[in-house]
Amino acid sequence: MTMDSTVLSAGYTQPDTRYPLDPLTGPEIEAAAAVITASDYATPTLKFVMISLAEPAKTPQLTFQGLPAVPRQAFVTMYDAAAKMIYEAVVDIEARVIDSWTAVPGRFPSYLVEHMTGVEEAVRKDPRWQEALRKRGVTDFGLAMIDPWPAGYYGAQDHYDNSPLICRPLTFMRAAPNENGYARPVEGLIVTFDLDTMTVLDVEDHGVVALPAKGGNYAPEFMFSPDNRPAFDGFRDGVKEIAITQPDGPSFTVDGWNVTWQKWSLRVGFNPREGLVLHELTYTDRGTVRPIMYRAALSEMVVPYGDSSPTHWNKNVFDMGEVGMGFSANPLTLGCDCLGEIFYFDGTVNDSDGNAVTIPNAICMHEEDYGISWKHTDFRTGAVEVRRSRRLVISMICTVGNYEYGFFWYLYNDASIEMEVKLTGVLTTGAVAEGEIPRWGKMVAPGMYGPNHQHFFNFRMDMSIDGPGNSVYEVDSIPEPDAALNPHHNAWITRDTLVASEAEGARDWEYATGRYWKVVNPSKLNEFGSPVGYKLMPKDIVPVMVQEGSVIYDRARFVQHNLWVTRFDPRELYAAGNYMYQSADAQGLPEYIADDAPLEDTDVVLWYTVGAHHVVCPEDWPVMPCHYTGFKLKPVGFFDGNPALDLPPSPPKACHSH
């Protein structure tokens, strides 16, 4: 942490004029809720799940700049526990009218805000749960941490027609207030909880396993205790301050939610479900504004566990669709989460009564030096030309129970785009008897293991490469197929395969051919007669361990392919569907491609899945070092040459030596 970091948004206020893609303000959220509460649709048991911007229809220009004003509308999802029904509404905020009202039978909503704290309080009072803890020698119930895990899907008994909205809380014990309770999991104790009535339905106890004896703390007040694991005798020496300063200020400018940086322009968005959203990404090339992506956001994520034991086998959390990334966003801390000349955007969400809740500093934006962009030394003359790379970082960090997920969008000054996911936080843990070796996980501390699990993140990217008419090609590198042209057995070519329709839209990466995908605009040709484009570059591909026949297989079908390509449909936003909670259906992408829409020279959407394969180790305990995964988009034939060639040389004063 350094005191040289600067908050650039201090005292910043949003302009009075709202751009059609700007997130709802607090007053707009509350106005939408008030319209519904005052309507004939309202009931005493109706609760607000999510209130977000109803984004206006895409224009042919791919922007609303200079176009007539668009009405501000809110998209509202609600849940009535008494009627056991989800409702969706579109509210015209300025006119104070409900434009549409739709019942959604047969589905369950994501968590309401009060579920996250109310579950713990109710479970702690249950006598069956208390008796299970007494069997384990626990009498101070106030030290229990009770995580309200989403229910997953066990089978027909969890389906909408015969089940309440449920979760299955798991219990962990702190040894002292504020200590890391995940160090002492209560193995084999599973609660089934009715979120409609906020009552305990059932308590399963699969047998007593002793609580692990050692603490696993990372906070300084506990970390250096002799009872902690791992053991340290103090903070390390020699860590000297790194100060990041920009004496002339940052290179970006902010106008409301619009950001311009060097040749980039984009609009930042935020909502309760997706959290951070990017809109209208364009790059100015010799005075011409060239669109690249219309909209980009996380569309869903899932964390399937590979452990058959009673406490863990049903853990298959859709952290976005079942909880909400916007709700989970951290208020970021200057100099710790973000370093340098920082601009913060606040995030505004709703509570279940329709009140606005502000998450200060939910989105962080700053610039980073990123090493060498390009360099060459003429060894004959000794002349050297080198340019520094720089990137604009737009990020949020979300806490969902024990885990932290950081989502970092990077824009580079060579016109590349990157998404990086950073995974950290605390493992969800299990206890084992002394001398027992876990079959489906690895030991991280005495008496405790971390189950095998994976994380999959799907990102939806509404592409607009130089305009709306795009095509997608799969590109493979293969040995020269004509033996007569390959006498030395060294030649190879690239083979482009058009993804012609949605029936062909589910694609898999291939190591042997160095496969990547490119999105091109067939109507815009470069000087070599090839369509301009961007390529999607995979990295860190992991095997999918979700098996057909498992309860998660159909619910998380999007993980079965690395890339899905669909034709744009404004109703298709989420890779696993709108409401996957307690559902066994193959919603989302399998449905979206069922109509086999043509994909050539049209408005295409990329859905790319990245994964993290987590076989845990002691070094992941008690808090996990960041694990990184992601992907990159890079121009391919989009420019006439290196787009970073015009970067100015760095001034000598920017470099120091001792």
Same domain, 73 and 184: no
* Chain position carrying tokens 């049903």: 314
- Cβ neighbours of residue 95 closer than 8 Å, sequence gap 6 or more: 71
> How far, in Å, CA of 201 to CA of 165, rounded?
11
The pLDDT, as a whole number, for residue 335 is 72
Tell me the average pLDDT across 348-363. 97
Q: Of 240, 266, 288, which residue constitutes the final position of a domain?
A: 240
Same domain, 396 and 275: yes
Same domain, 62 and 143: no
- In-domain check, residue 346: yes
CATH code of the domain containing 295: 2.70.98.20
Same domain, 113 and 37: no
- In-domain check, residue 6: no
Which 8-state DSSP code applies to residue 598? Answer: B
Nearest Cα residue to 274 out of 75, 545, 538? 75
pLDDT tens digits, 630-642: 999 999 999 999 9
Indicate if the pLDDT at residue 365 is higher than 90. Answer: yes
Distances (CA, A) of 283 to 19, 209, 289, 360, 372: 20, 59, 6, 30, 21
Same domain, 71 and 156: no
Structure tokens, 13 = 């206020």
Same domain, 426 and 552: yes
> How far, in Å, CA of 311 to CA of 361, rounded?
36
Distances (CA, A) of 403 to 448, 556, 567, 617: 18, 20, 34, 16
Which 8-state DSSP code applies to residue 322? Answer: I
Indicate if the pLDDT at residue 567 is higher than 90. Answer: yes
The pLDDT, as a whole number, for residue 160 is 57
Task: Give the model's confidence band at 5: pLDDT under 50 very low, under 70 low, under 90 confident, else very high.
Answer: low
3-state secondary structure at position 214: coil
Task: Give the model's confidence band at 11: pLDDT under 50 very low, under 70 low, under 90 confident, else very high.
Answer: very low
- In-domain check, residue 261: yes
pLDDT tens digits, 138-188: 999 999 999 999 887 776 666 556 688 999 999 999 999 999 999 999 999
> How far, in Å, CA of 269 to CA of 347, rounded?
9
- In-domain check, residue 310: no
The mean-pLDDT minimum among 153-157, 200-204, 250-254, 414-418 falls in 153-157
Q: Are 582 and 166 in contact (CB under 8 A)?
A: yes
Q: Of 194, 218, 240, which residue constitutes the final position of a domain?
A: 240
> Which residues sit opposite 398 in a β-bridge?
329, 405
pLDDT tens digits, 440-491: 999 999 999 999 999 999 999 999 999 999 999 999 999 999 999 999 999 9
Residue 625 CB coordination number (10 Å): 8
The pLDDT, as a whole number, for residue 117 is 81
Indicate if the pLDDT at residue 27 is higher than 90. Answer: yes
Indicate if the pLDDT at residue 12 is higher than 50. Answer: no
Indicate if the pLDDT at residue 30 is higher than 50. Answer: yes
Q: Of 84, 104, 124, which residue constitutes the final position of a domain?
A: 104
Phi and psi angles of residue 158, each rounded to the nearest 5 degrees, phi first: -95, 0
- In-domain check, residue 641: no
Tell me the average pLDDT across 46-71. 96
Indicate if the pLDDT at residue 613 is higher than 60. Answer: yes
Nearest Cα residue to 203 out of 299, 129, 258? 129
Indicate if the pLDDT at residue 261 is higher than 90. Answer: yes
Same domain, 71 and 137: no
Share of the chain above pLDDT 90, in %: 85
Same domain, 232 and 276: no
Does the CA dihedral 497-500-503-506 come out positive or negative? positive
- In-domain check, residue 91: yes
Indicate if the pLDDT at residue 73 is higher than 80. Answer: yes
Tell me the average pLDDT across 248-255. 95
Structure tokens, 632 = 């990159």
- Mean of the per-residue pLDDT values for the chain? 93
> How far, in Å, CA of 487 to CA of 508, rounded?
32
- In-domain check, residue 279: yes
The pLDDT, as a whole number, for residue 10 is 42
> How far, in Å, CA of 254 to CA of 239, rounded?
34
Q: Which residue type does 234 have?
A: G
**How many structural domains is the chain composed of?**
3
Task: Give the model's confidence band at 2: pLDDT under 50 very low, under 70 low, under 90 confident, else very high.
Answer: very low
The pLDDT, as a whole number, for residue 1 is 36
Which 8-state DSSP code applies to residue 227? Answer: T
Share of the chain above pLDDT 70, in %: 95
The pLDDT, as a whole number, for residue 63 is 96
Does the CA dihedral 570-573-577-578 come out positive or negative? negative
pLDDT tens digits, 388-403: 999 999 999 999 999 9
Same domain, 220 and 136: yes
Same domain, 285 and 406: yes
The mean-pLDDT minimum among 5-19, 34-48, 111-125, 137-151 falls in 5-19
Nearest Cα residue to 454 out of 432, 421, 431? 421
Q: Which residue type does 624 have?
A: M
Distances (CA, A) of 232 to 227, 235, 351, 618: 11, 8, 42, 15
Indicate if the pLDDT at residue 371 is higher than 70. Answer: yes
The pLDDT, as a whole number, for residue 358 is 97
The pLDDT, as a whole number, for residue 8 is 65
CATH code of the domain containing 160: 3.10.450.40
Same domain, 65 and 99: yes
The pLDDT, as a whole number, for residue 658 is 52
Indicate if the pLDDT at residue 3 is higher than 50. Answer: no
Catalytic residues: 319, 403
Q: Are 330 and 344 in contact (CB under 8 A)?
A: no
In SS3 terms, 400-451 reads as: ECCEEEEEEEEEECCCCEEEEEEEEECCCCEECCCCCCCCCEEEEECCEEEE
Same domain, 419 and 331: yes
> How far, in Å, CA of 458 to CA of 450, rounded?
24
- In-domain check, residue 69: yes
Q: Are 330 and 362 in contact (CB under 8 A)?
A: yes
Tell me the average pLDDT across 418-436. 96
Tell me the average pLDDT across 18-29. 97
Structure tokens, 354 = 């329709």
The pLDDT, as a whole number, for residue 19 is 97
Tell me the average pLDDT across 125-141. 97
The pLDDT, as a whole number, for residue 657 is 55
Name the residue range of residue 99's domain. Answer: 15-104
Structure tokens, 568 = 């744009």
